[in-house]
A and B are shown apart, each in its own frame.
Chain A
Amino acid sequence: MPIQAFLGQLLLGLVNGSFYAMLSLGLAVIFGLLNIINFSHGALYMMGAYVAYLALDLLGLGFWWSLALAPLLVGGFGILLERLLMRWIYKLDHLYGLLLTFGLALIIEGVYRYFFGVSGQPYPVPDALRGATDLGFMMLPNYRAFVVLASLIICFGTWYVIERTRLGAYLRAGTENPMLVQAFGVNVPLMVTLTYGFGVGLAAIGGVLAAPVIQINPLMGSNIIIVVFAVVVIGGMGSILGSIVTGLGLGIIEGLAKVYYAEASSTVVFVIMAIVLMVRPAGLFGREK
């Protein structure tokens, strides 16, 4: 195995890991406050990618515009979903949240399939990030490096806001005991809505970042969400840093699997999940309730 190809796969794994990290982070934040596992997260990620595609195709707006536009549009759509549908089921069993968002995912995916079919749409790499940088031991594709860097900044930014700011303290308190926080005068329903919008926005940014490295297609959401569920089970949803580390780590492992035993690359995350369940059922960073 030439070192070039090896490092190339490793980087590709890291890129995939960045998407896992951003999506599982969003899932964890949403679950913390809403007690809903957002099955439609993958579909919303797919919507983010399509915002980029359509903005370029219809309006001629490039990648950087999309990066700002997608989280606003898709996040706004998420807020609409939360206000109109999800708030009715907070008091019910968690399972209904999963079923409701599963139904939403089917609807979104079905609509996009109707308009775009199942074949992939290419999306160009933005001009500023074309080409590769010679690091001496490998050629580093600029765009891929950018994706990893951008998602790291976004993930750690999220971590900082939640763990180190006053707003984050409200959020953590709301996760712990929403009734009490509301009694202290914090507008919890508004916080819940904005949190959902934020989590969805993260997914949309992930979608835009993914657009130039994968083929955009309506099924990309359901393909990734199941892997992200496994990532969440492995990492446990208790810790934000845990979600980030687990996402990146599993991306790398998946990349390595592609190098050494390509047949296993689609299942390696699930196998790791099975092993973690046997050894440490609460997940690597989880707390057993």
Chain B
Amino acid sequence: MNKTYVGFAVMVVLGVVAPYTGAYPIFLMKALCFALFACAFNLLLGFTGLLSFGHAAFFGTAGYAAAYSIKSWGFAPEFGLLFAVAIAALLGWLIGSLAIRRQGIYFAMITLALAQMIYFFCLQAKFTGAEDGLQGVPRGILFGYFNLEDDLTMYYVVLGIFLIGFLIIFRTVHSPFGQVLKAIRENEARALSLGYDVDKHKLLAFVISTALSGLAGATKTVVLGFETLTDVNWPQSGEVVLMTLIGGIGTMFGPVVGAFSIITLQNELADKVGSWVQVIMGAIFVICVLAFRRGIVGELGALFSRKKAGPI
């Protein structure tokens, strides 16, 4: 537990000083949004044992909700974000209620298929702008005071949102509710026989995860000022799986490390290798699954605890 607090303190300090290290602020904000997305995804995969292969649906739908409400209805950014989170949670509740009817591998296939349905909906619906997406979304003024057009102000708001989301996940995992989720992950039948309403717990975990994924997607839209179909499509769902996998499934900080690694990699590679990026992402998937299942943070943790020769 102490290690987690130290890790959190390090993360906060890094987050606060990052804009002064010469890093490109838009890049940092984008990475923070994906870090929150991956953490929310990890709440399901790492702490409940549910592999959702359709998380892009929530990330992207919330992005559209934020973009549309801010641009067309003139919502202030705080209300745009709240509205988007509500939409993502509602969608999460709908899809979650269907998906938890099956276990394991079927759960993954169902979430993927339903998310693809959302993709086709966004492709055809009028308000999403189809192939063009929604462009030119103003950042606006948060709480009528913070002018988000300033990159530094925007950055600290994004950092704040990320930290709040992270703490919500931390609190959820370390609550009695989170312990039940772990019990479900380890042995669902046993959790059921102990009298826990497994379905209700799974659904609530799903909704929390989708709401926070929505928060991440909506924040990213506010930062970048546009929303396109890329965010709702299946490769995006795969990407968040990869971030979590490479960082460390079921670790608190793994998804953050994973998100920064993948976003950095994509930034570095995009103009150099073109369409080989997809091949490289696929290769990382294969390598992680075959040889590196604990991920970066998981491996570091194992190394550390082996040196101290004690249990974690």
Identify the interface centre among A99, A111, A230, A266: most chain B CB within 10 Å of its CB.
A99
B274: chain A residues at CB < 8 Å are 114
Identify 30 residue pairs between A and B in the complex whose beta-carbon atoms are under 8 Å apart, listed by A's number.
Answer: A37-B105, A85-B286, A96-B293, A99-B245, A99-B285, A100-B286, A102-B241, A102-B282, A102-B285, A103-B281, A103-B285, A103-B288, A106-B238, A106-B279, A107-B278, A110-B276, A110-B277, A110-B281, A113-B275, A229-B109, A229-B112, A230-B109, A266-B120, A266-B124, A267-B117, A270-B113, A270-B120, A277-B98, A277-B101, A281-B102
Which of B105, B274, B275, B277: most chain A CB closer than 10 A?
Answer: B105
Q: Which residues of A contact B141 (CB under 8 A)?
A: none
Contact B120 A274 (CB under 8 A): no
SS class of chain B's interface: helix, strand, loop or mixed? helix
With contact pairs A37-B109, A266-B120, A274-B98 given, residues A222 and B234 touching in the complex (Cβ less than 8 Å): yes
B224 lies within 8 A of chain A by Cβ: no
- Of all chain B residues, the one with the shortest Cβ separation from A92 is B293
A interface size (C-beta, 8 A): 43
Q: Is B110 close to A, CB under 8 A? A: yes
Chain A residues contacting B106 (CB-CB under 8 Å) are 233
Q: Are B104 and A95 in contact (CB under 8 A)?
A: yes
Other-chain residue from A89, A104, A232, A274 in contact with B109 (beta carbon distance below 8 A): A232
Given the interface pairs A94-B104, A98-B51, A110-B276, the reply to whether A233 lies near B109 with Cβ below 8 Å is yes
* B289 at interface, CB cutoff 8 A: yes
List residues of B whose CB falls within 8 A of some A CB: 51, 53, 98-99, 101-102, 104-106, 108-110, 112-114, 116-117, 120-121, 124, 234-235, 238, 241, 245, 274-279, 281-286, 288-290, 293
A274/B278 in contact, CB under 8 A:
no
Would you call A278 an interface residue if the criterion is a C-beta within 8 Å of the partner chain's C-beta atoms?
A: yes
> What is the distance, in angstroms, from A253's C-beta to the closest C-beta of chain B?
15
Q: Are A111 and B114 in contact (CB under 8 A)?
A: no
Interface centre among A89, A106, A108, A113 (most CB of B within 10 A): A106
Are A278 and B98 in contact, with the CB atoms below 8 A?
yes
* Cβ-based interface call for A105 (8 A): yes
Which A residues touch B235, using CB under 8 A?
A: 106
Which of A114, A233, A273 is packed against the most chain B CB atoms within 10 Å?
Answer: A233
Inter-subunit contact A103/B289 (CB<8 Å): yes
A106 and B104 form a contact (CB under 8 A): no
Closest to B245 in A: A99
Q: A226 touches which one: B98, B113, B281, B288 (CB < 8 A)?
A: B113
Kindly list chain B residues whose C-beta atoms are within 8 Å of the C-beta of A222: 234
Judged by a CB distance under 8 angstroms, whether A88 is at the interface is yes
Closest to B282 in A: A106
Q: Which of B102, B120, B238, B275 contacts A102 (CB 8 A)?
A: B238
| Interface contact B110-A233, CB-CB below 8 Å | yes
- Among A103, A110, A230, A232, the one with the most B-chain Cβ atoms within 10 Å of its Cβ is A103
B286 and A98 within 8 A (CB): no
Which residues of A lie under 8 Å from residue B283 when comparing CB positions? 103, 107
